[in-house]
Amino acid sequence: MKSGDEQIEKGQYYNALDQYEKAYKALKEKDIAIKIARTHFLLRDYARASNFLQSRSGQR
């Protein structure tokens, strides 16, 4: 996840999204899901950001 955070700092949102998605697939942690949604928002993909959070709102 650190790599994704570093990519965000560089403005490399697509690379960050890739890193976060890999981490989420392995760990299924809520904070990673939030970072994925935030990255979709930064990419101006508001529908995907909202849908991602809504689809995972029941997960712990």
Q: pLDDT (tens digit, 0 to 9) for every residue of the chain, 60 residues total?
A: 789 999 999 999 999 999 999 999 999 999 999 999 999 999 999 999 999 888 887 654
Task: Please tell me the distance from the alpha carbon of residue 51 to that of residue 3, in angstroms, as a whole number.
Answer: 24
At 58 the pLDDT is: 66
Q: Is 21 left (phi over 0), alpha (psi -120 to 50) or beta?
A: alpha
- pTM, rounded to two decimals: 0.88
Fold (CATH) for 2-55: 1.25.40
